[in-house]
Amino acid sequence: MHNNPHNEQMKDNVTPFGEIFQQAAVGMMILDLNTRNLWKTNATMEEMLGYTETEFSRMTLSEITHPEDTEKDSNLFVQVLNGEIHHYHQEKRYIRKSGEVFWGKLTFHLLLHEGQHWGFGIIEDINKRKEAEEERQQLEARLRHAQKMEAIGTLSGGIAHDFNNLLFGILGYAEMMREELPSDHPLQRYAQSLITAGKRAKDLVRQILAFSRQDEQEFSNMQVIPIIKEVLKMMRSTLPTTITIQQELISQSKSIWGSPIQIHQIIVNLCTNAEQAMRQTGGILKIKVSEIELDLQEALLLNLKPGTFLKLTVQDTGPGIPAEIQDRIFDPFFTTKPVGEGTGLGLSVVHGIVLEHQGAITIQSEDGKGTAFHIFFPAIEGKSDEPQLPSIEVFRGKERILVVDDEIFILDMVEKMLSRLGYQVTAIQSSAEALEQFSANPEQFDLIITDQTMPKLTGYQLAQGILAISPNTPIILMTGFSHQVSIEEAEKIGIRRFINKPVEKEILANVVHELLEERIKNDSS
């Protein structure tokens, strides 16, 4: 066909659209349907893909098409040849001569010219539109995930209040049973087992609240690297000898605004996951910390604000995470581990903590080639604070304490707990009755302990009523979980302490003693 003078004349002139064909801003081509070669191409087509017209004339359409898109495109082409269709539109990936891949929109028509059939194609470069669509899809996926996590968080928060009340009673009564029994009594081990199980349940509730970002934590200006070193030091003695630890930690880094306890939990969870992934085969656990700058576009993809970030990477050389489940790994209770080997909370806890720290987390994994988690924390300037360890001394006293809780078993348990420490305790189940009794004689109580979630009158409202009568009366507000009041709101009206259930006896005794000591100093000054 190429030796036909008539064809050569058509190739030179392409009447009546020769000039339009050559100067068009989109790629144009004419296919010889006998050989399927790109018989004629315009300048835009040649510039778009990087081939000359001579090179194109020896090539077929499939040779410039991405392998994953070839089959669908070929099927449509065959339908044209068979006369089933006369034109089609197809968005697909093309490969430039340089090897670069880009998206193009192909419009293909079957043409009849002086008794011969030709294929006429127009290729429009849509790479920028495709990139914008992919970015939008990523943002939409992040939004859907955030909405799902918020819904789960709301559910978990509602459960946490009742569950923590139950745990408070279980732990409290178990501790008192252990104290009452002789040290050599056979029931001692049962009491200790109850306490151990109760504390594990307490930690589980904290993890549930962590992924829902509803657990109150002390934040400070802190350094991440000392915590990493502490975790790795702890893990070295437990890791199999087949797993090697590598560190890439900058000597001095900026601080972050965060909770040392929660950052510790993130690192432990990620390192534990990495260890479990390599337990059978061995490999390398790599921890890296670097400082990076995110521009507007990079930050937008991570749902962050542009600026300086501390980037923490935990990487393993394990089997990797299949692509089809990567969008589920942060879901609470999702796990690929056998029953009894994991709760499915580890990564969801990490996700919740990262969001609470105004950061972002991404995963980079390929089946069979390991996994890397990248965490971005906003970096801040300034010297980090020294962590303060709480005292564990158990204090006693004889002051008069009013305890208010609508749960009778908790009321009884706290009353017994404080009475054993020498305090004179009045326990009242109704918050309205408690306010009435306090109003009648404010001097009869040295300190108030009240639950937050109670019918008719909440602990916060009870505290407001008491402080309106006696502003100097110390009040401890206890809660299993509440959306209704924060630490800041409690302190604003004069509530001295805000503690979460279940609270251990030593901590409660410590807080009570501290507030009573403060009152004595204030009264004497």
**How much is the pLDDT for 463?**
93
Q: Is 80 exceeded by the pLDDT of residue 387?
A: no
**How much is the pLDDT for 125?**
92
Banded pLDDT at 340 (limits 50, 70, 90): very low
Sheet holding 424-428, edge to edge: 424-428, 400-404, 447-451, 475-479, 497-500
Helix-helix angle 505-524:408-420, to 10 degrees: 70
Banded pLDDT at 393 (limits 50, 70, 90): low
The pLDDT > 90 percentage for the chain reads: 30
**How much is the pLDDT for 219?**
81
Please enumerate in sequence order all residues whose Cβ is within 8 A of that of 481, keeping only pairs 6 or more positions apart, or say none: 157, 158, 160, 161, 164, 209, 214, 500
DSSP string covering 89-122: EEEEEEE-TTS-EEEEEEEEEEEEETTEEEEEEE
Weakest mean pLDDT among 107-116, 196-205, 286-295: 196-205
User: How many Å apart are CA 3 and CA 9, to the nearest integer?
Assistant: 11
Distance of CA 246 to the CA centre of its chain: 25
50 vs 340, more confident: 50
Give the domains, in start order, of the chain with CATH numbers. 5-125 (3.30.450.20), 138-211 (1.10.287.130), 220-380 (3.30.565.10), 400-524 (3.40.50.2300)
Are 354 and 375 in contact, with CB atoms under 8 Å apart? yes
As a whole number, mean pLDDT of residues 300-308 equals 86
Q: Is 90 exceeded by the pLDDT of residue 194?
A: no
**How much is the pLDDT for 389?**
38
322 vs 513, more confident: 513
Q: Is 60 exceeded by the pLDDT of residue 335?
A: no
Are 114 and 108 in contact, with CB atoms under 8 Å apart? no
**How much is the pLDDT for 481?**
62
| Per-residue DSSP letter, 323 | G
**How much is the pLDDT for 2?**
45
Please enumerate in sequence order all residues whose Cβ is within 8 A of that of 16, keeping only pairs 6 or more positions apart, or say none: none
| Per-residue DSSP letter, 21 | H
Q: Is 50 exceeded by the pLDDT of residue 260?
A: yes
**How much is the pLDDT for 391?**
41
Give the helix/strand (H/E) hosting 184.
none
As a whole number, mean pLDDT of residues 401-419 equals 90
**How much is the pLDDT for 305?**
87
Banded pLDDT at 390 (limits 50, 70, 90): very low
User: How many Å apart are CA 419 and CA 388, to the nearest integer?
Assistant: 29
Please enumerate in sequence order all residues whose Cβ is within 8 A of that of 71, keeping only pairs 6 or more positions apart, or say none: none
Q: What pLDDT digit, counting tens, does each position of 427-442 carry?
A: 999 999 999 999 999 9
Give residue for tokens 């199980």: 197
Tell me the chain's radius of gyration from C-alpha atoms. 35
Q: Is 70 exceeded by the pLDDT of residue 146?
A: no
336 vs 508, more confident: 508
Q: Is 80 exceeded by the pLDDT of residue 379?
A: yes
Distance of CA 68 to the CA centre of its chain: 33
Weakest mean pLDDT among 19-28, 267-276, 489-498: 489-498
Q: Please give the biggest Cα pair distance in the chain.
A: 116
And the tokens for 295? 């521009």
Weakest mean pLDDT among 152-156, 258-262, 401-405, 442-446: 152-156
Please enumerate in sequence order all residues whose Cβ is within 8 A of that of 118, keeping only pairs 6 or more positions apart, or say none: 30, 31, 32, 33, 39, 110, 111, 112
Please enumerate in sequence order all residues whose Cβ is within 8 A of that of 279, keeping only pairs 6 or more positions apart, or say none: 240, 243
**How much is the pLDDT for 93?**
93
User: How many Å apart are CA 123 and CA 106, to the nearest integer?
Assistant: 5
User: How many Å apart are CA 414 and CA 508, to the nearest integer?
Assistant: 10
Top mean-pLDDT range of 133-147, 222-236, 340-354:
222-236
And the tokens for 234? 């702890």
Q: Is 50 exceeded by the pLDDT of residue 101?
A: yes
As a whole number, mean pLDDT of residues 398-427 equals 91
User: How many Å apart are CA 293 and CA 285, to the nearest integer?
Assistant: 25
**How much is the pLDDT for 43?**
92
**How much is the pLDDT for 181?**
87
Are 450 and 475 in contact, with CB atoms under 8 Å apart? yes
Q: Is 70 exceeded by the pLDDT of residue 519?
A: yes
Banded pLDDT at 293 (limits 50, 70, 90): very high
Q: What pLDDT digit, counting tens, does each position of 70-82 carry?
A: 888 788 888 887 8
Banded pLDDT at 236 (limits 50, 70, 90): confident
1 vs 13, more confident: 13
Q: Is 60 exceeded by the pLDDT of residue 338?
A: no
**How much is the pLDDT for 493?**
83
Are 211 and 149 in contact, with CB atoms under 8 Å apart? yes
